[in-house]
Structure 1
């Protein structure tokens, strides 16, 4: 069982995080400061992972990085100080996560860290004859991707071919198909796996801040720039930069990104000097970049620079029996997470899962399974818990309105009504916190439901 140290001065957060990790079969120890941690434990040998807040009484959480030896350190930071976390990546933190964090996002991050740092333990298996044969489907499953259909098998083979190179990759697919999982699979199978992978949702950062966030800025470059800052591109130096929803990137930032690809250098906002960076770029979008380039909404030269290797993720409705494999995987995962006895699908619910159109793709399926586990009174998952009506699936339209009518009207209506009612006087962060979701999830639901983002009246 993996042993994790949580270093957090807020007792409520520390206790909640400890309970979450213990429910997911981790052994947990706690400390309230760097000094407290060093007095109680051998940081370099006692733990498999250290999770530390950035701001602590006394020494900052970054001091643990130098004290932990080869033990990986995951830094927690508030959203307001997210750019400070970028600096921790330069100091050697294995990853960072913004508070308030989504529980599943944190658990997935931890699993990703362990999968990367436990690879040497499997060295003895390399002597077996079967280990010399690459099974792309099995390898991809280790990165959280499941798929037996022909399209997914082709995708796995291409991932295995492109991962060892430094070629730029463009991942295309509808929202919810798992583009970030593919990007992470590429990174973790590359020669850069021991370096950071920095993920950026281009649509989730305000347009006025995107250049500063990506490329950094000098002191005094703009109002509020009280100190020089590294950008996210610098944070990914030596590793992989994943730009999700790159079709939303403003034209000015596109020009700067083009220079990164062409010259391997960046220039911070407000600086007159350029500096070299070594990053492998993986981009993703659900939009048709070629059409955007033809209409002038996306730089044509950048499109051709990005489109070196194109990977296409099929929608769930075109993946045949994969949907059943995914449903069973998510059911086992959710039952384990909630410490529930293993549930099973009724024959009718399995038929419904196969026939339904799944406009929200894998993400919608996972949410439907989680909802059904929560609402289940018995050991069977029935069709009504999934919110699927059998008599309408076969000729269901792919439009957003009909897709919404087919799936969980109650929860979606609540989300839509809450956002429309409160968005004029609440920031995106406040909305996400009240709804109990991440800012990225809030943005994705806005996109799916067609709710335009309003300008916040206050920050």
Structure 2
């Protein structure tokens, strides 16, 4: 009877042995290798993988793997933060294990699993540190159908212990020179269109804050897509399942804006016949996007600073505060620093908001993104109007590429939608785009005239330097060739000038 009583303790004994081995490991690689081997032994899975978030939480790194009954070499193959793998993302963002007894590759994205094998069942297990923050995901997969959900209770303590040991090893290691990482390409552009250098810089900054609850300030000219970026940060980040609330601070007078943001209690003012929660409460657990923050009245700026510092909200008519968990993303087209110097914006709030600024580029700085955006807006307009897609002439695209777009992406969208309505033959031509022209006075030189003269001289000099080769000149000037052709036409540059 004694051996029969001891036999059920066998898994516990193996688990304790694995804990002891993990505690003795003195390097990162050996620790992670021991963890993945222990997971494979305890789960009897055909595949075990360990993905860890990097220090900036912008990518998942394959840090250890077990396949065909042996450890696999890993070179930190990384997946970007916006990697469109629903199974791994679910575990990261929800901090919950996911078990699939019947795995269907046609229904589930499993491209993170090794190719050339048939995978029937899958377990994705989030690994958290002592504070409950997710640090990575453990993956177990089998060739035959199995119920892997019961393994969560066995592997989760092991993974948590290994993460704690890894943190201890990293804090005890001597400091080394920082490694400069190359910029990884963005997998999806966070739902935005554009592959210019300026936009790739924006994507990189977005990736830095997806899994970090810092306050973000979006700056840039009007119409550059600040709300679109705010939605991307929310939809691809850890709060994606919670509310995304938008408030334009310039749209309401001060009293209405205060009650809208903070809410009020019954009897707080005439007409307050019931309690009403504010937008901070509505966005609790999610994201509050404050557009045009530079237009917020000074008195409300002080209350907003309190929310940012303490996470507390006091509704109008109430003597008590309550905690809220809200991520603030603010946006403005104004120069907030100049606003501070002029006394129109609080200096303490300015420094609180500018922890992580992201400046969006103007459309004229985005090069070949203009044709891509134009085609996208045209396709959407045709779909909305339930008509055949419109064809584009090269002359129409050249006309758009050479325009400065003071209204940026918003202006381009309006121009394209208007052109689709004007287009009768399903072909978009230059005459469908009535771009604004600057009026020139008959006497004297305006700033625009002087800038045109300067630009004309620069273009001619560059063309002469390249023996009239427009492609080489465009490359040297940092312009698309069609933009150079349009500007040559606008500036009245002919071959005789060269």
TM-score of the superposition, structure 1-length normalised? Answer: 0.57
- For residue 169 of structure 1, the aligned residue among 216, 226, 229 is 216
RMSD over aligned Cα, in angstroms?
3.0
Number of aligned residues: 279
In the alignment, is residue 179 of structure 1 matched against residue 226 of structure 2? Answer: yes
- One of 139, 146, 150 as aligned partner of 2:188: 139
CA displacement 1:3-26 (0-9 Å, x = unmatched): xxxxxxxxxxxxxxxxxxxxxxxx
Deviation string, structure 1 residues 277-309 (Cα, Å, up to 9, x no partner):
001110000000111112110011001000010
Give 1:126 deviation, angstroms: 3.8
Please give the alpha-carbon distance, in whole angstroms, between the structure 2 residues aligned to 1:126 and 1:224. Answer: 58
Q: Give 1:207 shift.
A: 2.0
> Is the CA contact (8 Å cut-off) linking 2:86 and 2:109 kept in structure 1?
no
Native 8 Å contact 1:357 1:396 kept in 2 = no
The verdict on how the C-alpha distance between 1:125 and 1:201 changes in structure 2, with shifts beyond 3 A counting, is farther
Alignment partner, residue 439 of structure 1? none
**What is aligned with 2:305?**
258
**Structure index of larger Rg:** 2
1:148 aligned residue:
195
Q: For residues 329 and 240 of structure 2, what CA distance do their matches in structure 1 show?
A: 14
Q: Is the Cα–Cα contact under 8 Å of residues 215 and 233 in structure 1 kept in the other structure?
A: yes
User: Which runs of no fewer than 5 residues in structure 2 stay unpaired?
Assistant: 1-84, 91-106, 116-136, 138-181, 449-498
- Residues 367, 397 of structure 1: alpha-carbon distance in 2 compared, 3 angstrom cutoff: farther
Corresponding position of 1:244: 291
- Describe the shift of the 1:358–1:128 C-alpha distance in structure 2 as closer, same or farther (beyond 3 A): farther
| Equivalent of 1:386 in 421, 433, 443 | 433
CA distance in 2, matches of 1:343, 1:167: 43
CA contact (8 A) 1:137 1:147 kept: no
**Residues in 2 aligned to 1:390 and 1:213: alpha-carbon distance in whole angstroms:** 42
1:270 matches 2:317? yes
Q: Secondary structure at the match of 2:198?
A: helix
- Give the distance between the partners of 1:397 and 1:349, measured in 2 at CA: 27
Deviation at 1:331, TM superposition (A): 1.2
Which residue of structure 2 lines up, in the alignment, with residue 291 of structure 1?
338
Q: 2 CA distance for matches of 1:392 and 1:139?
A: 42
Asked if the contact 1:251–1:299 (Cα under 8 Å) also holds between the matched residues in 2, the reply is yes
Match status 1:363 vs 2:363: no
Distance of aligned partners of 1:326 and 1:137 in 2 relative to their CA distance in 1, 3 Å threshold = farther
Q: Equivalent residues in 2 for 1:71-220 (5 A)?
A: 123-127=109-113, 137-140=186-189, 142-143=190-191, 145-220=192-267
CA contact (8 A) 1:137 1:146 kept: no
Residue pair 2:284, 2:326 contacting (<8 A) in 1 also: yes
Give the CA deviation at 1:259: 0.5
What does residue 305 of structure 1 align with? 352
- The offset of 1:359, in angstroms, is 0.9
Contact 1:160 1:189 in 2 (8 A): no
- TM normalised by structure 2 equals 0.52
1:320 aligns with 2:306: no
Aligned residues of 2:294 and 2:332 also touching (Cα < 8 A)? yes
Contact 2:183–2:204 (8 Å) recurs in 1: no
| CA positional deviation for 1:318 | 1.1
Equivalents in 2 of 1:370, 1:327: separation in Å? 9
